[in-house]
Structure formats: structure tokens, C-alpha cells
């Protein structure tokens, strides 16, 4: 059986959907952050798949993936820092408790 591009894309899409599900249902801020990471990894899978099948010479997709991973790390760092700050002030990271600002 040959590995086809569709499998990568399907896996990516599945991962993306799991990420979205996690984003919507999680109450814990760290879990939300993890769900965002899932989304980014779905993107990475897509890029790698496309890069392998469509752009094997210049592998721009793989380069892109490196950038995404880097930025995701930065985002996670900032996110965790903010969560840490809010934990110090509020002693909780439960999203439902964050209701100082409401419309």
C-alpha cells in the first residue's frame, strides 16, 4: 500500500477537529493552550504532507513547519507566563472564574 497525500490531510484534519473540540470544551487554561498546540500541529502535518508530495525540491513547506514550531514555542511561553501571572493573582486557572470583564 502506498502512502497517499490524503492520509496526511485526513490525519491533519482530524487533529484540527480534536483541537477545536478541546478549545471549546476545556475549562482549564493550560488545556486550552494545549488545544491550540494541537491546531498548530495539524497545520504542521498538512504542510509536511504537501511539501513531500507537491514541493519535494524546494521543501518550502518543511521550512514553514520549522517556523511554525518556533513560533508555537514562543506563543506557549508567553501563554504560560500569562497563566502564571493570573494564577498568582487569582489562585485559579479555571476559565469560568475569569469574569471580571463581561459585556
Closer of 1 and 74 to another protein (Cβ): 74
Indicate which single residue of 6, 21, 25, 55 sits in contact with another protein (rule: CB under 8 A). 55
Q: Is residue 75 at the binding interface for another protein, with CB under 8 A as the rule? A: yes
Element (H, E) at 68: helix 60-90
Terminal Cα-to-Cα distance of the chain (whole angstroms): 55
> Residue 38 CB, nearest distance to another protein (Å)?
9
Q: Which three cell numbers stand for residue 10?
A: 485526513
CA 16 to chain centre: 8
CA 38 to chain centre: 4
Element (H, E) at 31: helix 29-54
Q: Is residue 58 at the binding interface for another protein, with CB under 8 A as the rule? A: yes
Q: Is residue 96 at the binding interface for another protein, with CB under 8 A as the rule? A: no
Element (H, E) at 38: helix 29-54
Q: What does the binding site for another protein look like in residue numbers (CB under 8 A)? A: 5, 9, 12, 16, 19, 23, 29, 32-33, 35-36, 39-40, 42-43, 46-47, 49-51, 54-55, 58, 60-61, 63-64, 67-68, 71, 74-75, 78-79, 82-83, 85-86, 89-90, 98, 100-103
Amino acid at each position: 500500500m502506498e502512502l497517499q497525500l490524503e492520509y496526511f490531510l485526513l490525519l491533519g484534519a482530524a487533529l484540527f477537529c480534536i483541537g477545536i473540540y478541546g478549545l471549546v470544551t476545556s475549562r482549564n487554561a493550560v488545556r486550552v493552550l494545549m488545544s491550540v498546540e494541537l491546531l498548530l500541529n495539524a497545520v504542521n502535518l498538512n504542510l509536511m504532507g504537501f511539501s513531500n508530495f507537491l514541493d519535494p525540491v524546494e521543501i518550502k513547506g518543511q521550512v514553514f513547519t520549522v517556523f511554525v514550531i518556533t513560533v508555537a514555542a514562543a506563543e506557549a511561553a508567553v501563554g504560560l507566563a500569562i497563566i502564571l501571572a493570573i494564577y498568582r493573582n487569582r489562585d485559579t486557572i479555571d476559565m469560568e472564574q475569569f469574569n471580571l470583564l463581561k459585556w
